[in-house]
């Protein structure tokens, strides 16, 4: 388990030997329920988490905010070799080969999109793919180096990061909340793209309304929110 920021953990799970080859293959961006198991293997708590790894990965990766709840409180104490239950993959929030795709992430909402972009890069998919990633501070940006590397190596991928609570001197990205002007600057015509939004509900609703103002039919926007 890795600790990219003080309140997040990156968890990677592999199937036990008996289950290898039997787990359903997720679509990029889907989620699973992680189950906490008792000594008898019975589920005592569960919570949904987006899959951050590519479907082609030999393991499932999750980027989880530690809120000290029934699930995260137990996950913090997990060791290599400990068992968890997995239910899924589930959900309609996934990338399905669209050629013009725009993703909007807030905080740990970047998890499904890092999985999508890894898949797009691994498959060398042709198209135009733009990630808008908003966090409060530079220190709270997740997967910063990998996202920069994905964009550097893949001319079809563009990553736009914006900070809402600070303006560091050395920061080369955007500052402030994502709005119509920022979208037009980096994307052009919003209505020409397929859109996915993942983050706090307030942010999701704000971006949905922003896109509607740019002429995008909100029925064609896939959204996941919390809080």
13-37: pLDDT as tens digits: 998 865 666 677 899 999 999 999 9
Cβ pair 117, 123 in contact under 8 A:
no
Cβ pair 39, 54 in contact under 8 A:
no
Cβ pair 10, 65 in contact under 8 A:
no
Cβ pair 53, 112 in contact under 8 A:
no
Q: Where are the domains of the chain?
A: 2-90, 100-226
CA distance 51 to 30: 6
Mean pLDDT score, 118-145:
97
CA distance 64 to 112: 11
CA distance 120 to 101: 11
Cβ neighbours, 10 Å, residue 20? 10
CATH 2.40.30.10 for domain 2-90, yes or no, is yes
CA distance 25 to 8: 26
Instruction: Tell whether the model's pLDDT for residue 203 goes beyond 70.
Output: yes
Structure tokens given for 175:
């500052």
CATH code of domain 100-226:
3.40.50.80
Mean pLDDT score, 109-137:
97
Write down the residue that tokens 């740990």 correspond to.
108
Mean pLDDT score, 54-77:
93
Instruction: Tell whether the model's pLDDT for residue 175 goes beyond 70.
Output: yes
CA distance 84 to 76: 13
Structure tokens given for 91:
């959900």
> Which residues, listed in sequence order, are joined to residue 225 by a DSSP beta bridge?
199
Mean pLDDT score, 173-202:
96
Cβ pair 194, 180 in contact under 8 A:
no
Cβ pair 156, 126 in contact under 8 A:
yes
Mean pLDDT score, 95-109:
98
């Amino acid at each position: 388990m890795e600790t990219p920021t003080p309140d997040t953990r990156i968890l990677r799970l592999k199937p036990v030997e008996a289950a290898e080859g039997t787990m359903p293959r997720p679509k990029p961006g889907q989620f699973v329920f992680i189950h906490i198991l008792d000594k008898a293997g019975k589920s005592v708590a569960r919570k949904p988490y987006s899959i951050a790894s590519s479907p082609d990965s030999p393991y499932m990766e999750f980027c989880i905010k530690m809120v000290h709840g029934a699930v995260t409180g137990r996950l913090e104490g997990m060791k290599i070799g400990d068992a968890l239950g997995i239910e899924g993959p589930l959900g309609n929030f996934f990338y399905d080969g669209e050629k013009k795709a725009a993703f909007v992430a807030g905080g740990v909402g970047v998890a499904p999109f890092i999985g999508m972009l890894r898949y797009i890069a691994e498959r060398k998919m042709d198209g135009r793919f733009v990630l808008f990633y908003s966090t409060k501070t530079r220190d709270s940006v997740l997967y910063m180096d990998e996202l920069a590397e994905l964009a550097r190596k893949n001319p079809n991928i563009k990553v736009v990061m914006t900070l809402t609570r600070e303006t560091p001197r050395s920061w080369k990205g955007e500052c402030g909340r994502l709005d119509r002007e920022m979208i037009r600057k980096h994307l052009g015509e919003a209505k020409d793209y397929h859109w996915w939004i993942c983050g706090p509900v307030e942010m999701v609703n704000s971006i949905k309304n922003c896109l509607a103002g740019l002429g995008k039919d909100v029925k064609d926007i896939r959204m996941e929110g919390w809080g």
